[in-house]
Chain A
């Protein structure tokens, strides 16, 4: 075993002179530092987006409330959605992949380290530009998808939507560059022995997801450019009154928007595919099916966007075809849920905090997926679209799905990044507060939606049951606030006095666990040999190697 870096030597951030000083971070092109900066910026924007959500929930706790004006409310929900999607989930996923991928493939850094840094800073700048709108006349107020003609100058009372366009263009460029970088990294920098069929599923899913980004982000960029022409050059591409087409915006935006939601969930699937096997003590069940179904999902994500437009009046025939394709996309997703669940079966499960988030991801995302499939039934969609049922659905998949997976990933990789484990006792509080708070907030919203409460309304009449359910939802939001505070507390306490992690605190199998925690700047002193999908397992148990390794050795 002399070819693995076997020491428990820590090289905490403070000791390594290369990492000292604030300026070294700003100028860094090291993927680990850039990854951490993504995570920190994501955390900051999570605070802002969460604050926006809390104010929304306070306003909606009671009917006829006047905590904020209607226009402020519009700005709040527009910014909440835009922030959480473009400035939290996507950057945090980018940060986790930037940090982990080079380590997982045994590389020194990404293919284009300076491009990596550019991606981060352009993304951050886009976010700052977006938030600048608050003090420059008002934030965007046409929703996170800025439907025309509401987004057009004739109906906007401030420059908010223009900031939205420009900020998102910046973010879009940063994300696209990051995706290209990641594809080249994965295809070109893998350590010899790690063929494409042997990569950890985190790597495979990141590869597929990056291709999805390369194809979907330009759709957003083209749409934004045309909206910019309307807003800044007084054009009328999307204004029906002058011969333009508001529906064209919807098609174009959702042509991006639907792949975008898969862009946000695929990295979550990637994290779960690493965490669950490790803490179940079993390799993933059906690696090939998980890998193949990922490609199917990515492909189908381009074939279903019109299911956001069932209520637009495109015609029954149109609705029928897209309803069918939308139901189809549930199949590869279901295959994955089955595989993760089967991995748990007869496993020796360790319920670390990471595992708690991962297992509850399975439940929460399934609920979100079911409500999603219910929307594929077109007449149901006509009733439920743009109600709180939809808000419930999207939060179950994006919070119960993506965010829970992110939290699992953070508890899983925090030790590698910092050298210390996050406290499991505080983590337990964090988990349960999050789980309870999340479900309290969003489960009741299914009911509110079915009772007819539309989304994006700043208040509602005092109809029976509406206030009770809204109040429950608001209380849940404050429980979530508490959970975030506990999480931050955990991070701060653990950074100072957390248990030293060592190289491989979880007894995991992928290459990032074959170096110190945190890794040295060059990542590895020596990379272990790779013959199968779980290199560290194969090294530790040469007599019980994976079938792949045995097949390759000719047994």
Chain B
């Protein structure tokens, strides 16, 4: 394979903060769950997804070259990682946490459906405002802050749907509404990005080329800045929407497979 492709494939960046962060996350999980590892597979998958999104060649592609790559990275951080992490928590652990009054209070506040939905959606929209987005590309500190914001706000967003404990989850029908309205709001932002004039985020118009892969991107891949921006919007729109659909199907499947107690009906005579 040619040199540019090789450069890309080998462009892994094992940033110490990310490596340590992921190890710490796994360690914290192991300690907190103390042998209760029935759901550990999900959690590990979530950490692996986050790790790969942040250290694989996807990262330099996102940071420097392509809006669409950056979108893919963010979609993983917002739509894949938090659900996996939440599914990985054991009900026993969560119940234990909720027995602490201060933590239960926080859960009631942030886990409220309207609050969680608004936090999730607002964070999504906010960070795509050109002023803020461009700042993340210019300053690594802001960028890290953005990623932390995404991970935290997305976890809050997914909590009412995927929390391991039924009592704090939304009932199935409100959950479906929550997800449908979330998907629609996500779609509107995606539509704006797809149809925006190219150059919404000027850094992608003529990026620096430390990996010497720009000709490959522009010529072999055919990704002009305009197409790249459109692709980013489309990724958020269609595959992003599909994740919401998957969540809806999950909620319905869970709902219909839970047995229902009989409802006492007064005899007619």
Contacts and interface: CB of A to CB of B under 8 A. Distances in A.
B227 interface: yes
A292 B253 contact: yes
B184 A302 contact: yes
B256 A288 contact: yes
A553 interface: yes
Contacts of B238: 303, 321-322, 324-325
Contact of B260 (A195, A315, A317, A321): A195
A197 B261 CA distance: 12
A211 B248 CA distance: 15
B62 interface: no
Interface string B228-253: 00110010011001101100110011
- Interface SS of chain A: helix, strand, loop or mixed? helix
Given A299-B248, A321-B237, A553-B262, A3 B253 contact: no
Contacts, number: 86
B176 interface: yes
B154 interface: no
A192 B253 CA distance: 24
B248 to A, nearest CB: 6
Contact of A192 (B231, B248, B249, B265): B265
Given A299-B183, A299-B245, A302-B187, A318 B269 contact: no
B255 interface: yes
A303 B239 CA distance: 10
Interface in A354-412: none
B255 A197 contact: yes
Contact of B269 (A2, A317, A321, A549): A2
B253 A321 contact: no
B237 A291 contact: no
A531 B252 contact: no
A529 B262 CA distance: 11
B260 A197 contact: yes
A302 B237 CA distance: 11
Contacts of B249: 292, 295-296
A551 interface: yes
Interface string A290-324: 01100110011011000000000001011001101
Interface string B181-203: 00110010000001000000000
Contacts of B241: 303, 325
A390 B160 CA distance: 43
A531 B244 CA distance: 33
Contacts of A67: none
A137 interface: no
Interface in A514-555: 526-531, 548-549, 551-554
B265 A299 contact: no
Nearest to B259: A551
Select the residue from A2, A315, A322, A527 with max chain B CB neighbours within 10 A.
A315
A284 to B, nearest CB: 13
Interface in A220-270: none
A70 interface: no
A291 B245 contact: no
Contacts of B187: 302-303
B142 interface: no
A548 B265 contact: no
A215 interface: yes
A548 B267 CA distance: 20
Contacts of A530: 265
B187 to A, nearest CB: 7
B217 interface: no
A531 B262 contact: yes
A295 B177 CA distance: 11
B38 interface: no
Given A197-B260, A321-B238, A3 B184 contact: no
A407 B227 CA distance: 49
B247 to A, nearest CB: 10
The 8 closest A-B pairs by CB, nearest first: A3-B268, A552-B262, A288-B256, A292-B252, A529-B265, A193-B265, A321-B238, A321-B234
15 contacts: A2-B269, A3-B269, A215-B180, A295-B249, A300-B245, A303-B238, A315-B230, A317-B227, A322-B238, A325-B241, A528-B268, A529-B268, A548-B260, A549-B262, A551-B259
